[in-house]
Structure formats: C-alpha cells, structure tokens
Amino acid sequence: MNIFNYDGGIMRAINKFTDCMLLSILFLICCIPVFTIGTAASSLYHTAYKVLRSDRGYIFRDYVESFRDNFKQTVPVWLLTLALGAVLAADWNIMLQFARNENFLSILTAILIIGMSVLLAWTAYLFPYMARFENTRRQSMKNAILMVVAHLPMTIVMLALMVAAAFLFYMAPPLILFLPAVYAWIQSFILERIFRRYMTEEERAREEEREQERGN
C-alpha cells in the first residue's frame, strides 16, 4: 500500500493541515475591517463544517461564497454584539477605577463576568446558527440566546473551548494560523448535534444522507 497515495492517511493529514491554515488565514484577513468579524466567523463555521468535517467543496470557494451570501445579514448583528461588548468593557474599566467598597466590587465583578460569559456564549451560537439556518436577524438572535439556556451544559463546554483556544494563543501566538479553523471544526461536533434538533424532517434526512455518503 502506498502511504503517499492521495487517499492515504498521510496525504489526507497534509491536506487537512493545509486546509486549516488556508481557512484560518482567510478568516483573519476578513476580520481586518473589524465590522466584518461576524461575517468572517459565520463563514468560518460554514466552511469548517462543510469542507473540513464533511469533505464537501473547497476552502476558498465556499468561504468566499458564504461571506458574500451572509454579509448583509450578519454585519448589523455583529455591530450590535460589538456595542454590547464595548459597554461591558467600559463598565469593567469604570468599576476598577471608582469602586472603593470591596464587597460592592466583588458583586459588580461577578455581574460583569456573568454578562461577558453570556455575551460570548451567545455569539458562539449566533454566527454558526446564521451560517446554517435562513431566518430573520431578530429571530436568529432570539433563537441563539434560547439555545444558550436550553443547552447549558454544552454552553459551558463551548466557553471552556474558547478559554482553551485563548490560552493556546497566549502561550504560542503562531498558532493563530491554525486555531480559528481547528476551533470551528471542534465546535461543529457540539453545535451540529444541537442544531439537528431544530431542523425540519427534510433537512435531517438530507444531513443523514450526506453522512452516509461520507462514510462510504
């Protein structure tokens, strides 16, 4: 058996490695304008699920198509998310500068940490959800926050995944060339089990058919 055959283990690993790097670089480039970060995150999840996990399509083509299709839908939602994050960050800064009572400081700290955690969890569901489902912005935002609560154990797991990714980047910054794609790839194993519960029978059947084709 030729281990360097295109369908062999080594070549598949090399292909996945290069796909992760290309997808991560595309994501980082598309994040540069800042206001497109939400669209970039949505396209990252879409491409990681479709290409990295399901072995369908091509990294560059699918990412660009998803970015183009989701741009108008995701930008306003991201700007709202960014504004909420800015408010929480400003509150944190004000708290550190002006709070004098230690007990009061502890209460405020706990409230702000919970608020930041909820915001991060919400975005962890929101942009992948917008990549996978066609819905209004308002309904997408509502469904995402409902999922945060309804699937709390998985929400905690995803927050832990975020912390782990941030820690790895802090310890080894060059990993930024791979972490976004790998993070989205791992995230898809959590989210797709949740998303399937909200799919129609036709959508579930289509997903099962794709999985069977991938297994053959």
Q: Report the alpha-carbon distance of residue 196 to residue 202 in Å, rounded.
A: 11
Predicted pLDDT at 193: 92
The predicted pLDDT at position 7 comes to: 56
Tens-binned pLDDT, residue by residue, of the chain (216 aa): 454 455 556 777 888 889 999 999 999 999 999 999 999 999 999 999 999 988 888 999 999 999 999 999 999 999 999 999 999 988 888 777 776 666 666 777 888 889 999 999 999 999 999 999 989 999 999 999 999 999 999 999 999 999 999 999 999 999 999 999 999 999 999 999 999 988 877 777 666 666 655 544
Residue 201 corresponds to which amino acid?
E
- Asked whether the beta carbons of 181 and 24 are under 8 A apart, the reply is yes
Tell me, what's the pLDDT at 15? 86
pLDDT for 79 equals 97
100: exposed, middle or buried (Cβ count in 10 Å: 0-12, 13-18, 19+): exposed
| pTM of the predicted model as reported, rounded to 2 decimal places | 0.88
Question: Which pLDDT value is given to residue 38?
Answer: 96
Structure confidence at residue 27 (pLDDT):
97
- Give the whole-angstrom CA distance, residue 118 versus residue 140: 16
Between CA 179 and CA 205 the distance in angstroms is 32
**Helix ranges restricted to H, 99-178:** 102-132, 137-150, 152-171
* Contact by Cβ (8 Å): 71, 36: yes
For residue 30, give the amino acid letter. C
The residue extents of the domains of the chain are 9-215
Residue 125 carries which DSSP code?
Answer: H
Separation of alpha carbons 159 and 165, rounded Å: 10
Q: Of the candidates 54, 82, 69, 60, which has an alpha carbon nearest to the alpha carbon of residue 130?
A: 69
